[in-house]
Amino acid sequence: MLNPGSLSLYLCTDRKLLFGRPLPEAVEAAIAGGVTMVQLREKDAPAREFFDIAREVLALTRSRGVPLIINDRLDIALAAGADGVHLGQSDLPCFEARRIAGKDFIIGISAHTPEGALSAQRAGADYIGSGAVFPTGSKADVGAVIGIEGIRAVADAVKIPVVGIGGINPGNAASVIAAGAAGVAVISAILSQPDIRAAALALKSCAG
Amino acid sequence: MLNPGSLSLYLCTDRKLLFGRPLPEAVEAAIAGGVTMVQLREKDAPAREFFDIAREVLALTRSRGVPLIINDRLDIALAAGADGVHLGQSDLPCFEARRIAGKDFIIGISAHTPEGALSAQRAGADYIGSGAVFPTGSKADVGAVIGIEGIRAVADAVKIPVVGIGGINPGNAASVIAAGAAGVAVISAILSQPDIRAAALALKSCAG
Q: pLDDT tens across A5-21, in order?
A: 999 999 999 999 998 89
- Find, in chain A, the residue whose alpha carbon is nearest to that of B52: A92
End-to-end Cα separation, chain A, in angstroms: 20
Contacts of A47 in chain B (CB under 8 A): 72, 90-92
Question: B79–A89: do the CB atoms touch at under 8 Å?
Answer: no
Alpha carbons B68 and B105: distance in angstroms, whole number: 11
B157 touches chain A (CB under 8 A): no
Min Cα–Cα distance to chain B from A102, Å: 12
Residue A88, pLDDT > 60, answer: yes
Alpha carbons B204 and B182: distance in angstroms, whole number: 13
pLDDT band at B142 (very low <50, low <70, confident <90, very high): low
Determine the pLDDT at residue A136. 85
Total domains in the fold of chain B: 1
> Smallest Cα–Cα separation from A110: which of A87, A85, A93?
A87
Q: What percent of chain A has pLDDT over 90?
A: 89
Question: B89–A48: do the CB atoms touch at under 8 Å?
Answer: yes
Min Cα–Cα distance to chain A from B75, Å: 5
For B101-161, give the secondary structure using H, E and C.
HCCCCEEEEECCCHHHHHHHHHCCCCEEEEECCCCCCCCHHHCCCCHHHHHHHHHHHCCCC
pLDDT band at B115 (very low <50, low <70, confident <90, very high): very high
Alpha carbons B78 and B105: distance in angstroms, whole number: 9
Question: Higher model confidence: residue A142 or residue A155?
Answer: A155
A56 touches chain B (CB under 8 A): no
Alpha carbons B8 and B26: distance in angstroms, whole number: 19
Residue A141, pLDDT > 60, answer: no
Q: Which of A15, A139, A197, A204 is catalytic?
A: A139
Determine the pLDDT at residue A138. 67
> Smallest Cα–Cα separation from B75: which of A142, A103, A47, A56?
A47
Min Cα–Cα distance to chain A from B129, Å: 18
Active-site residue, B41 included: yes
Alpha carbons B49 and B58: distance in angstroms, whole number: 14
Q: Which of B15, B139, B152, B204 is catalytic?
A: B139
- Classify each residue of B10-48 as buried b or exposed e, where b means 16 or more C-beta atoms within 10 Å of its C-beta: bbbbbbeeeeeeebeebbbbbbebbbbbbbbbbeebbbb
Q: What is the mean pLDDT of chain A?
A: 95
By Cβ distance, the residue of A47, A97, A100 closest to B91 is: A47
Q: Which of A41, A152, A197, A204 is catalytic?
A: A41
> Smallest Cα–Cα separation from B27: which of B191, B208, B165, B198?
B191
Whichever domain contains A130, its CATH number is: 3.20.20.70
| Confidence check on the interface: ipTM exceeds 0.85, yes or no | yes
Question: B96–A47: do the CB atoms touch at under 8 Å?
Answer: no
Min Cα–Cα distance to chain B from A191, Å: 26
pLDDT band at B183 (very low <50, low <70, confident <90, very high): very high
Active-site residue, A139 included: yes
Helix (H, G, I), strand (E, B) or coil at B83: coil
Average pLDDT over residues A47-72: 97
End-to-end Cα separation, chain B, in angstroms: 20
Determine the pLDDT at residue B156. 98
Average pLDDT over residues A24-44: 96
Min Cα–Cα distance to chain B from A60, Å: 20
Question: A75–B73: do the CB atoms touch at under 8 Å?
Answer: yes
A105 touches chain B (CB under 8 A): no
User: Could you tell me the residue range of the domain that residue B170 belongs to?
Assistant: 4-207
Active-site residue, B43 included: no
Q: Which site among B75, B78, B90 would you substitute to test the A interface, given the most A Cβ atoms closer than 10 Å to its Cβ? A: B75
Question: A90–B46: do the CB atoms touch at under 8 Å?
Answer: yes
Question: A48–B78: do the CB atoms touch at under 8 Å?
Answer: no
Residue A47, pLDDT > 70, answer: yes
Alpha carbons B150 and A97: distance in angstroms, whole number: 40
Q: Do the Cβ atoms of A164 and A184 come closer than 8 Å?
A: yes
Residue A139, pLDDT > 70, answer: no
Contacts of B100 in chain A (CB under 8 A): 75, 78-79
Q: Which site among A58, A92, A99 would you substitute to test the B interface, given the most B Cβ atoms closer than 10 Å to its Cβ? A: A92
